[in-house]
Amino acid sequence: MKTLTKALLFLAVVFVLGYLDWLTTVVGLLFCGGTELNPVLSGLTKSSMLIFSATKLTAVAFAGFAAYKAVDIAAHAKNKLHLSSKFVNGGVSLTVLALSVVVTNNMIVVFRL
């Protein structure tokens, strides 16, 4: 049960941070004169905010479910050194850290801090 709780926690954190990234990006673009720095998504912000939003939120959903499945699979891996679990936890933690930095940057732009 501990593994399921941990996997669901990672899923929730990635979802919340991804949603905040999308929300602060949209607010920054529409109301604060911000720009999308991701070259893949930058073109979408200029053509259609609806398609941009759908793409961004779909990516958030895939990232959250990927983190969930990776934690779940690594917990059940038959690895005596538990390297797979450490690798997955490190990768998911790095993802959470990166999303936190992006959301913080977006909030700085939105609130003009």
Query: Tens digit of pLDDT for each residue in 8-61?
Result: 888 889 899 999 999 999 998 888 888 888 888 888 888 889 999 999 999 999
| Residue 82 pLDDT > 80 | no
Structure confidence at residue 81 as a pLDDT band (50, 70, 90): low
In contact, 60 and 19? CB cutoff 8 Å: yes
What is the phi/psi pair of residue 38, to 5°? -75, 115
pTM for the full predicted model: 0.83
Residue extents of the structural domains in the chain: 2-111
